[in-house]
Amino acid sequence: MTPARARRLPWTGPEGKPCYVVGDGTGPLSHVADQIEAVQLGLARHLLTHALETLDDPKAEYADLRTLATQLAEALHDALLVADSRGTRLYP
């Protein structure tokens, strides 16, 4: 049996503070967190493909590039939270 550990969830509370769940990683909240992390990483992969296509387009508009940069920053933020959460679980 896996010992109970605190896991940072891929969302924040109402005040913007991190949320955690304590358990062995098999509970329903852990499964929801796994699904959300998978969606976040999938969106980041899709966005990266879109970014490479946009950056390769010499006619890309400034506003489109600015929007893209904002979306990439948000995706990077989410991916880093996932990485930190998973790293903590691998190396407590």
pLDDT per position as a tens digit, 74-84: 999 999 999 99
Task: Supply 37's token pair.
Answer: 């992390």
Considering the domain boundaries, does residue 79 fall inside one? yes
Residues of the chain with pLDDT > 90: what percent?
82
Considering the domain boundaries, does residue 91 fall inside one? no
Alpha helices in the chain (DSSP H): 28-55, 62-90
Considering the domain boundaries, does residue 92 fall inside one? no
Higher pLDDT residue, 91 or 55?
A: 55
Which residue in the block uniquely carries the two structure tokens 């506003």?
Answer: 63
Query: Smallest Cα–Cα separation from 20: which of 29, 56, 43, 70?
Result: 29
Considering the domain boundaries, does residue 68 fall inside one? yes
Considering the domain boundaries, does residue 31 fall inside one? no
Considering the domain boundaries, does residue 60 fall inside one? yes
Q: What's the domain count of the chain?
A: 1
Its pTM surpasses 0.95: no
Considering the domain boundaries, does residue 55 fall inside one? yes
Residue-range definition of the domain harbouring residue 71: 5-26+36-86
**pLDDT band, residue 38 (cuts 50/70/90):** very high
Considering the domain boundaries, does residue 13 fall inside one? yes
